[in-house]
Each structure stands twice: as structure tokens, then as C-alpha cells.
Structure 1
Amino acid sequence: MPGRKLHPPERVAEYTARGWWSQDTMDALLRAQVARQPDRLAVVDPANKATLVGTEPRRLTWRELDTETDRLAAVLLGLGAEQGDVLAVQLPNTVELVVAYLAAWRIGLIVTPFPVQFREHEIVAMAGLAEAGFLLTAGRIGERAHAQEVAGYRAAIPSLRHVLAHGTDLPAGVLPVDTLTAAAGDTAAVGQYAAAHPADPNDCVTICWTSGTESTPKGVPRCHYDWLAICWATVEAPRLAEDDVLLNPFPMVNMAGINGMFLPWLRVGCVLVQHHPFDLPTFLAQIGAERATYTVAPPALLTLLLQRTELLAAADLTSLRQIGSGSVPLQPPMVRGWQERHGIGIINFFGSNEGISLLTDPHDVPDPEQRARFFPRYGVPGYTWSSRVTEWTSVRLVDPATGAEVTAPGVPGELRLKGPTVFAGYLHGERLASPFDEQGYLRTGDVFVIAGEDGQFLEYVDRAKDLVIRGGMNIAPAELEGLIAAHPAVADVAVVGYPDDVLGERVCAVVVPRDGQELDLSALVRFLQEQRIASYKLPERLQLREALPRNPVGKILKRELRDEIAKETTQ
């Protein structure tokens, strides 16, 4: 893994001197919780784990979690893993996924997590880019035989030395991690290795993946410094403490799952309850059974639940204090409805893998109308916000056409930001255009305007990028368009999202067929499935046209397509 230390020395010196970065590391936080409350409940499996992966749900204390962490770390060391090696992980939200992260960090490995929906197309590309030496998965996840699939294409990942899997009846060449960890008796070597290879907070700990609007996925490396800085936002907005119970329905593969749930849990030492895949009855039942105090959910689902009063009437929500939401604009009636009908405050988050860290919580902005629409504009005189991250982060708006800084209300500008929560740059960034401007600010690609009577707020205007966000998963239209364009019946194609009450957006392919050719949705889906792409990327709507709308320079007018299809699907 080239460039294991991520941030330049001058940035480390500045941010540590300011108190924005500390010497905390992931493993140090775990060890502190184990020492403080060894016999207290730490993590709980999904209630439907038996159906998901074929094993019964488990509940681990901090001491038990620490023991399993040591055992998996010992197995990895025994297989030749060394500090700086990359461990690819494709597991659902289970205790085993938590252990995988913690074991890797205990001995200085870098985790690159893959959603369980990823298939050969995505995994070969991303594991290759990350130079993964090890891959950990499960024998089966749902109806898919994941270990068998990986065994079939592992040769296409030259860096891959070992494949490990939980479960039984594994194919040849896949190591049975459950058997190996059970046999890992004396784990003293793990402590000795960790002591001899101390973690630097600037060491890379994860490589997550962002689709952006490009056809090639981009790796987002992060270290202890920036992960543990940005997680203060998700600790302080919901006011988390050790007596909280977090219900996590978001896959722990990117910002939402890792920073929204996993790292706050590790920081405060509360209980983490896992949920996967999303199932509304199970989710509502877990809130009551586990006495969850905080969870996260997509805006469309929160709106739907308010409309389905019979579902909420049958659920026990009395323990729930707040819900985090975001990624798309929140509707004021939804935020108001949860607050007035159920006494539950909605926290409005705006984030990305690269490090956007805007949030509006009920303590700072009690008015639900304002909380749904606005985010704090950090640095405005006379206004202070609860989270320390708001004092660390510099924001500005820039006119995307002229490059001039926007300071007047109501004038659209691209959001740019800088601070200790921002990533250091993309994996193999030397091959890519820099995401930073001449002042070192991250170009987010998202358009906002200044709002509020004193200019104290930012209001989201539009997503400058064309990303489709389906159930919290990012889908790059350019990637799908490239695959669809290879179909012999396709002359031209554009991929856009259209609104959905539960998932937020679904995928529509707008296709211009070749002369004399025919195409229907089922044939297109079969063609894409043959490319072995993740199922959540598959189009759920196909629209055939004689031509795509374009501007005078030939650019497809995707906003026009989105608006037209949205009208058709909501009539």
C-alpha cells in the first residue's frame, strides 16, 4: 500500500497543535472500553442472522469482543499479514464485521469494505486498485454463495494471497476462519506484534469507495486522525453517552455506517445493535426489543412511516430520542411530524466519504422548518453551534462559472470546505484530477446558497453531480451508461434517478435503440447481470426514445430527463 501515512507533516503539526487531532487510535479506544467496562454488553447481531448467514445471533460483552479481536488478528498474523497490508471485507452488518475491523486495526492492517451486493465486476476492480492481500467474506449471504463466487475469480486479483470465509462447506482454497479462530489459543503474539509496530494516528485505516460521477470508482483512504475527528460530529449531534443503544441499519462500508454508527459507538462505549438487510418490521421490532435510543434512516422511509400510522401504532418507540437522516433534502412536514407527534428530533446530516460535515440538530435549531432546510454556515459572527467540528471546519461558496467567492444571500455557489475532517486525497491520486482548489478547500460539487436573516445558514440547492442514491447506496450513472452502451441494441443511453417512497431513488435507463433493434427491461437486466454487477445498480425502469435531449454543445440534459420521469412516476 503506497503512501500509508496520509497527511503531510505540516498539516499534522498544525491540526494537532490546534487540538483538532489527538493521538487516539482505533485500537486504543477499544482497549479503553474493555478496561473500563469489560462485562458490559457491547454489540448485538441482527435478529435475522440465521436467515442471513446461517448462524444464530450473538451478543458480546466488551471482554468477549476483545477476545475475538485477538483471535482473528492472530489468524491474520499467522497467514503472513503485516502492518500496512490491505484486508478486503465483504460481510453484512454482523458481529463478525465489527470484529474484522477491530482485528485489522489491532495489527495495523487497512480495511477496504465492500457492500454485500458487489459482485465480480466491482470487487476485482476495487481489490486490484487497493492491492488487497487478504479477503474476508461469508460462505453465504442470503441466497448467494459468496465464498464460491470469490473462489471463481480470485485469480483476477494478482495481489490477493488468501481468501477467508465464515461458515461451513467452503470451496477449495477458501480458509475456514471460524475453525482457525477457534484454534487460536495463545494470542500473546498479537500483543507483542502491536507493541513492536505501534500505530501512528496518520496511518491509513480504511479505503472506502465512492462512485462520484465517474465510471471508474475512486478509493477514499482515511486515517485515525480524520476518522476520529469527524466522528465527534456524530457523537455530539445526538448527544451520545455510554447508556445509549444505537440501532444501525446502514451498511458499515462508507461514511453513513462507519461514521454514523460504528465510530460513535467505539468512542462512547455504548451498545451497537446491528441490522441487515433492511426489513421494516424487523427494524421496528428491534427498536422496542433492544430499547434503542438512537438510529438513522433515509428521509423517504421517515416520511412513509408518518403516513403509515398503523405501523407506528404497533411499534414501541418509547426509548427512541432522536433519528439521524440526510443525504437528500429533508421535507419540513416530515421533520415537524416526528417532533410533534412522537417527540423524536430529526438530525439533518450532509456528508460524504471525502469529508463533508454539515449538520443541523434539534438543540441548535429547534424549529423543524429551519432544521429541514438549513445547515449552519460556520464562522458567521454572533452564532455558535454545539459540535466542536463546526469550529474546526472552514466553508466557502464559489461561483462554479467564474471562480469568484459568493458572499451574497441567494446566489448559488459550490460548497468548498477545509479542516481536520477532510480526507487527504484519493487512492492513486496522482492519476486523477485534484479534488482540492488552489486554497486547499475540497470541491464538493454540491450547490448551496447563503440563507437566514444574518446569513447564518446554508441552504442546499442541487446536486451538481448526477449521482443516483438508492437506499443509501451511491450509483454512478457513467458506469452504468458504459455497460449499457455495449448492448448491441443500444445506440445512445442516459441513466438517471427517479423518486421512490422507500429507497429515495430508483434507476431509470433512457435508451435510444439502434435502427431495427428492440429492447425491453428484462433483456437489459439480463445483459447487465451477465456483466456480474451489483444488483442494486440494475435499472428498474426503461424508457425508449428516438433521441436524448442535449444542449447546444451536446451535453445530455439530465435534469430535464429526471423532471420528466419524476412526473410520470408520481402521476
Structure 2
Amino acid sequence: MVTATKDKRQLYREQGWWGDTTLADMFRANAGIHPERLALVDPPNRAVFAFGEPQRLTYAQMLAETERLAGALLANGIGKDDVIMVQLPNISEFVNLYFAAATIGAVVSPAAVQYRSHELSEMYRIAKPSAFVCATRFKGNDHLSTARKVIGAGCQIMTFGPDAPDDTVDLSAARADPGLLAAHRKTHRVDADDVFTICWTSGTTGTPKGVPRSHNHWIAIAPGTYQPSGLRDGDVMLNPFPLINMASIGGVTMSWLRVCGTMVLHHPFDPQVFLGQIATERPQFTIAPPAVLNMLLQNEELLAKVDLSSLRTIGSGSAPLAPSMVSGFQERFGIMVVNLFGSNEGMSLVTGPEAVPDPVERASYFPREMVLEPMLGGTAAAMAETRLVSIGDGSEITEMGVPGELEIRGPSVFEGYHDAPEQTEAAFTQDGFFRTGDLFEIAGDGRFYRFVGRCKDLIIRGGVNIAPEEIDQLLGGHPLLAEACAFSLPDPVMGERIGLAYVPREDREITLEEVTDFLREKDLAVFKLPERMYRFEALPRNVTNKAMRSEVREHALGSREGA
């Protein structure tokens, strides 16, 4: 495993990126300063998809609940460094459980609610959890039955919700044991360098990889969102992303912790509920996938019914942003869209309005050097070192307009995959840079990166590399397309050609000629124009709402249709 050297750890501390404060310490400090401030708000429809009435917890109430849960975990044999696999929707119990685990030094390994035994079995094998936590009720799913298929001896099933089976630990009803928690705190010090989460990612093979992150890793990455987004003390944040990955934990939860704000949860994604929460909870910040923002901006009837005036900034990422969308929100509503690009491993590129005022440039560019103030104080400095290297010979790229793989190292970057030395060795260079697998090029006046695509997603047409994301981004502004996803088609002459999966807007027909004419108007090179189109009812997406290009391609190749 690649680890930060002692000198590096000391340097990170001296600069303020790392420290001796845990996330539980930060939360308790917030509760002490603002005990009556509203901390956490449940989705208004939680009774529909899960159980119970929506909760609205102050910091004092949330602190009491996290300490109750911490005592319950201890009473059932879960302690420092024990792994807790969690499969819960975005409800207040999930957030409380995170901070209960942080209090006792346990490790949370969150799993998407959509996962079944196929995915969970491998994650269980890698993480070796001591407990599996799920809900007794979740719309359309029986997580308890799935858990029983997956777990082995020595792992307890713990539940939230009514009608807990006798063979599970009912965390909803467990009583607090303050004495047990106090004794544990005296004998088990939680260190900020301890692993706090093991989130999950997968490579081109689909095999899950555990990504351990310490308290300090999360603390180091937090400024990447709250500073470019201009978040202020007490801000309200609407969180529609599942509490399992970088967008939700690093982007919203850590920002909430930093500004002692109010976090409003949302699940599952429902545009009507989401817009209703904006109207009633009046958030200053939220995050949303590009496809949702594109849809909203092009729906005049819906826009006429919603009040977005509380929002100052919206974070968006997971796919390239359409320049027309970023411009539209800024020009029509005065809302700044912040361009987010990150990974569970700790890669973080963020473009806010202060760094890049022009919305068209902000949709496409990321600063090559993000100078930010560390969360724990200290002088503003670059959050990470980055470089581009050729995917052919590994040489460093310094000229503009040449695609290369982004490599990154710094205090926000994890130190190796969990119990996977071979995967770790392949993921890092000899000098400690993480190979992101993402293609960028130096752009603008040389101060920026522009995302080109994934290394494995390249379309190689006649020996020329084409990034499908570039085509997706341009088509994000097409008035007749709700969704678009370019991919490679095998071809005996050119090697590969360009296919396009699309979802029409309002069931409108659209021709290949109309698409290519639109792209020609954007002055896209002719060799990048789609050559065959496939109509979809909806693009397959993963749990973070990214279009699954490999599945799109597989479905298209298995179809006889295509224009």
C-alpha cells in the first residue's frame, strides 16, 4: 500500500490540511456552539419509501441521538476499528450513524440501496464487517433477506425501523448507555489518521474496490466544495445524492460540518419533491446531476411554478456540463453553477465563479492549481499537485491541447485500496501520484484543464482518438434531446465509428442529420460526428447518475435498430 511518508504527514499538518481533530470532535463543537440550530431535516416523503415520520433535529437533538447509537453499538460488541457495512437510504438515521461510528472509532462502509447479493457479497468479502445495518422497510426491496444471504458468522445484522426481527439488533429502540460510552472514550482514543470510511468504486472489470479514507482525508478535501461555492455560516444545504460517496460526503456533509449548517436530505430523486424542498426549506446550496439541470432549464412550464430565489450556488458534475445550462442559470436566475469533478479516491477539481466568472468557460475548465485555505486554518495553498502524462509512453505533457491522463497527489488523496496490494500498486506511480484514469488537456491560457474523457472510453476512429464526453457535452444543449451518450461501434475499415444513444424530448422524432447539423454549428471536427443513432427510452445509469457507457454500447450492438 502506498502511504504518506512521515515527512508528508508532518507537512500536511503544518499546512493545516491535516490535524488531530476528528469529525466527531467537529460535530460536538458545532452542537456546543449552536445547540438549538436546526441541523438535519428528513425527506418529506420518507414514510413512502422507508418508514416513520420525517424528523427535524437540532444540533442538541442530533448529538443526543448519535451518542445513543454509539452506546448501542458498543453494547453489541462493535468498537474501535470494527467495520460496519451500511445499506440505508438518505434518512436522518444514516447521518446519525456516521457520527456515532466516528465517536467510537468504528469504520463505516456504505453500500448503495440498489445493490443486491451479487455486489454485496464481494464487498462483504473484502471489508469483513462486524455488523450489517439496513432498514426493515424500504420500498420495493427486502434488504434483510439480502443481508442474510451475504453475511457470515461473526457479523451481526442491525436494523432501523419497525418490526425488527428477533435475530437482529434493533437500533431504533436501543437504549443509551452513557457509562459504557464514557469508559470507551477513556480507553480507546480515536485518531484523526484512523480510517473512518471504506467507500466503493469499480474499474473496467466491475470488480468493487474499497477506498479507505481517514478523518484527515475528508477534512483535507472539504475546502474544495465550500470555498468555491461561497458557503456561509448556518447555510441550508439540500442533499439529493446518496450518502455513500464523494459527492454527498465530501461535497455536502463536510461543507455542512464546516459551516454548522442545516442539511436537508432527499431520496429517491424526484424532481417534484426536490423542487418542493427548495420552495419550503429555502436552501442556499444544492447539488444536482447535469441531466436534471438541463431538464429543468428547458421546462418553461415547470420553471414558472418554482421559486429558486434562495439558491446562490448549485454544484454539478459526474458528467460534462453543457455551457448553455451553466449560462442559463446564471443569466436567468443569478444562480452560479459550480463545476465539480471528483472521485472516492480523493481526486478533486472544482471551478467556482470566483476563479472562472465566465459561465461558458466554467462549464469546461478546471484550475490546474486549486489554491484554497485549509479547513483547519493556515495559509492558502495548492490543495494538490497534478500533472498530465501521455497514455502512450508516460511522458509528462506540458503543451496545450494534447490529451493525457491526470495524475494527482496530496493530502486529500487516499493511500491505497483496502486489502488489495496489486490494485494499489497499479493505481500509483513510483513517486506517489494517483493515476486517475481521466483524460484532460491543458486549455484556456494554460492555467486550466479541460476534461476530455475516460482513458478506457476513447473511440479510436481511423487511428484518431475521440473522447465521447466531448460529444455528450455539446449535445446537452440540443433542444430536441433529453439525453445523449456517444460510444464506439466496431468497424472493419476504420476500426471504430461513432454511435449515439439518445432519448428524445417529449417523444419528438429527431434525425441523424439534425444532430450532425447541430454539432457542425458548434464547429465540431467532422471526424467526431456521430454516424449511427439508437433511440432509448432512458439511458442506463449507475447509482451516482452517470450514464453507463458500456451498457449503452452493449444494448445498442444487440439492437437491430439504428439510423
Fold-level match, TM-score > 0.5?
yes
Distance 1:418 1:331 in 2: 29
Q: Deviations over 1:392-417 (max 9, x none)?
A: 31111111101111011111111111
What secondary structure sits across from 1:206 in the alignment?
A: strand
What is residue 120 of structure 2 aligned with on the other side? Answer: 123
The alignment status of 1:175 with 2:172, answered yes or no, reads no
Distance 2:454 2:79 in 1: 41
Q: 1:364 to 1:544 in 2, by over 3 A?
A: closer
Q: Deviations over 1:238-262 (max 9, x none)?
A: 1212221000000010111111111
Superposition CA RMSD, Å: 2.9
Distance 1:271 1:51 in 2: 23
What is residue 97 of structure 2 aligned with on the other side? Answer: 100
Letter in 2 for 1:208: C
Shift of 1:301: 1.0
Distance 1:92 1:203 in 2: 26
Letter in 1 for 2:59: W
The alignment status of 1:246 with 2:237, answered yes or no, reads yes
Shift of 1:386: 7.8
What secondary structure sits across from 1:465 in the alignment?
A: helix
Distance 1:331 1:130 in 2: 38
What secondary structure sits across from 2:69 in the alignment?
A: helix
Asked whether the 8 Å contact 2:340–2:349 carries over to 1, the reply is yes
Q: 1:497 to 1:354 in 2, by over 3 A?
A: farther
**From 392, 398, 402, the counterpart of 1:411:** 402
Shift of 1:331: 1.1
Tell me the TM-score normalized by structure 2. 0.80
Q: Deviations over 1:173-194 (max 9, x none)?
A: 22222122xx32x423213312
What is residue 472 of structure 1 aligned with on the other side? Answer: none
The alignment status of 1:24 with 2:14, answered yes or no, reads no
Distance 1:298 1:167 in 2: 30
Structure 2 gaps of 5+ residues are 459-467, 470-498, 506-535, 541-546
Matches within 5 A, 1:420-499: 420-432=411-423, 433-453=425-445, 455-466=446-457, 498=501
Q: Deviations over 1:136-174 (max 9, x none)?
A: 1100111222223323x14xx336421011112233422
**From 379, 383, 393, the counterpart of 1:392:** 383
What is residue 320 of structure 1 aligned with on the other side? Answer: 311
What secondary structure sits across from 1:434 in the alignment?
A: helix
**From 130, 133, 157, the counterpart of 1:133:** 130
What is residue 487 of structure 1 aligned with on the other side? Answer: none
Shift of 1:215: 2.9
Tell me which moved more, 386-395 or 442-451. Answer: 386-395
Shift of 1:264: 1.1
Letter in 1 for 2:67: D
What is residue 349 of structure 1 aligned with on the other side? Answer: 340
The alignment status of 1:272 with 2:263, answered yes or no, reads yes
Distance 1:462 1:215 in 2: 18
Q: 1:142 to 1:389 in 2, by over 3 A?
A: farther
What secondary structure sits across from 1:128 in the alignment?
A: helix
What is residue 34 of structure 1 aligned with on the other side? Answer: 31
Alignment size in residue pairs: 482
Shift of 1:450: 0.8
**From 177, 192, 200, the counterpart of 2:183:** 192
Q: 1:121 to 1:497 in 2, by over 3 A?
A: farther
What is residue 197 of structure 2 aligned with on the other side? Answer: 206
Q: 1:425 to 1:283 in 2, by over 3 A?
A: same
Shift of 1:357: 1.1
Matches within 5 A, 1:2-13: 7-13=4-10
Shift of 1:431: 3.5
Shift of 1:497: 9.5
Letter in 2 for 1:33: N
Distance 1:354 1:401 in 2: 24
Shift of 1:389: 7.9
The alignment status of 1:164 with 2:158, answered yes or no, reads yes
Asked whether the 8 Å contact 2:501–2:556 carries over to 1, the reply is no
The alignment status of 1:261 with 2:261, answered yes or no, reads no
Distance 2:53 2:351 in 1: 39
Q: 1:9 to 1:46 in 2, by over 3 A?
A: same
Shift of 1:363: 1.4
What is residue 513 of structure 2 aligned with on the other side? Answer: none
Shift of 1:55: 0.7
Matches within 5 A, 1:375-390: 375-378=366-369
Letter in 2 for 1:163: I
Letter in 2 for 1:418: R
Q: 1:317 to 1:501 in 2, by over 3 A?
A: farther
Distance 1:241 1:391 in 2: 22
Q: 1:246 to 1:545 in 2, by over 3 A?
A: closer
Distance 2:186 2:259 in 1: 25
Shift of 1:438: 2.1
Distance 1:356 1:405 in 2: 19
Letter in 1 for 2:305: A
Letter in 1 for 2:223: W
Structure 1 gaps of 5+ residues are 470-495, 503-520, 526-535, 547-560
Q: 1:545 to 1:457 in 2, by over 3 A?
A: closer
**From 287, 298, 302, the counterpart of 2:289:** 298
Asked whether the 8 Å contact 2:75–2:180 carries over to 1, the reply is no
Distance 2:277 2:202 in 1: 31
Distance 1:159 1:426 in 2: 25
